[in-house]
A and B are shown apart, each in its own frame.
Chain A
Amino acid sequence: MIVTQRAAQATDPLSVPSNAPEHCPGTESEQAGKADACNGCANQEICASNTPKGPDPALPFIRARMASVKRKLLVLSGKGGVGKSTFTAQLGWAFAADDSTQTGVMDVDISGPSIPTILGIAAEQVHSSAQGWSPVYVQDNLGVMSVGFMLPSSKDAVMWRGPKKNGLIAQFLKDVDWGELDYLVIDTPPGTSDEHLSVVQYLKESGIDGAILITTPQEVALQDVRREFDFCRKVGVKVLGLVENMSGFVCPSCKGESQIFKPSTGGAERLAKELSIPLLGKVPLDPRIGKSADYGVSFLDEYPESPASIAYIDIIEKIREALGDA
Chain B
Amino acid sequence: MAIQETPVARRLKTVKHVVIVLSGKGGVGKSSVSAQLALSLHASSPNVRVGILDVDLTGPSIPRMLGLDGHGVHQSSDGWVPVYADAKSGGEPRLACMSVGFLLKNRGDSVVWRGPKKNAMIRQFLSDVRWGELDYLVIDTPPGTSDEHLSLMEHLAPVQSKLSAVIVTTPQAVALLDAMKCLSFTRAVSLPVLGLVENMSGYVCPCCGEVSNVFSTGGGEEMARREKLTFLGSMPVDTELVTLLDAAESDRKNGGDDDNAASAEAEARSFELLQRYQATSSAKLFSTITAEVTRAVAAGMAKESGGEPPESG
Interface on A for B, CB 8 Å cutoff? 2-7, 9, 13, 16, 18, 20-24, 78-82, 85, 109-112, 114, 117-118, 154-163, 165, 189-194, 196-197, 216, 218-221, 223-224, 226-231, 234-235, 249, 251-254, 256, 258-262, 264-265, 274, 285, 287, 290-291, 293-294
Contacts and interface: CB of A to CB of B under 8 A. Distances in A.
29 contacts: A4-B75, A9-B109, A16-B114, A18-B114, A22-B119, A22-B120, A23-B117, A81-B27, A81-B143, A156-B184, A157-B181, A159-B185, A159-B188, A162-B146, A190-B58, A193-B58, A193-B115, A197-B114, A223-B107, A223-B108, A230-B108, A260-B242, A264-B248, A287-B214, A291-B172, A291-B216, A294-B172, A294-B173, A294-B216
Contacts of B281: none
Given A13-B112, A251-B210, A258-B205, A112 B246 contact: no
Interface in B117-154: 117-120, 142-147, 149-150
Contacts of A253: 205, 208, 210, 212
Contacts of B76: 2
Interface string B73-85: 1111000100000
A265 B246 CA distance: 9
Given A112-B144, A251-B207, A154 B64 contact: no
B247 interface: yes
B113 A193 contact: yes
A230 B64 contact: no
Contacts of A194: 114-115, 146-147
A interface: dominant SS: loop
B126 to A, nearest CB: 15
A265 to B, nearest CB: 6
A78 B61 CA distance: 11
Interface string B300-313: 00000000000000
A13 B117 CA distance: 11
B181 A226 contact: no
Residue from B31, B183, B208 whose CB has the most chain A CB atoms within 10 Å: B208
Nearest to B180: A155
Contact of B73 (A4, A249, A290): A4
A22 B117 CA distance: 4
A106 to B, nearest CB: 17
B165 interface: no
Contacts of B224: none
A6 B103 contact: yes
Contacts of A249: 203, 212, 214
B178 interface: yes
A229 B24 CA distance: 24
A261 B238 CA distance: 9
Interface of B: 24-28, 31, 56-59, 61, 64-65, 72-76, 80, 100, 103-105, 107-120, 142-147, 149-150, 170, 172-175, 177-178, 180-185, 188, 203, 205-208, 210, 212-216, 237, 239, 242-243, 245-248, 252, 255
B145 A229 contact: no
A193 B118 contact: yes
A190 B212 contact: no
B207 A256 contact: yes
Nearest to A9: B109
A81 B28 CA distance: 6
A227 B74 contact: no
B247 A2 contact: no
Contacts of B57: 191, 193
B187 to A, nearest CB: 9
A114 B59 contact: no
B242 A261 contact: yes
A226 B108 contact: yes
Contacts of B119: 22
Contact of A110 (B115, B146, B173, B212): B146
Residue from B28, B100, B215, B237 whose CB has the most chain A CB atoms within 10 Å: B215
B145 A78 contact: no
Given A227-B59, A294-B173, 12 more contacts: A7-B104, A22-B117, A81-B175, A114-B25, A156-B184, A157-B182, A162-B146, A163-B115, A192-B111, A223-B108, A224-B61, A251-B207
Contact of B58 (A3, A165, A191, A264): A191
The 3 residue pairs across chains A and B that have the minimum distance between CB atoms:
A80-B26, A81-B27, A162-B115
A234 to B, nearest CB: 6
B100 to A, nearest CB: 7
Contacts of A109: 144
Nearest to A257: B207
B172 A155 contact: no
B151 to A, nearest CB: 8
A18 B118 CA distance: 12
B246 A262 contact: yes
B246 A264 contact: yes
A112 B23 CA distance: 10
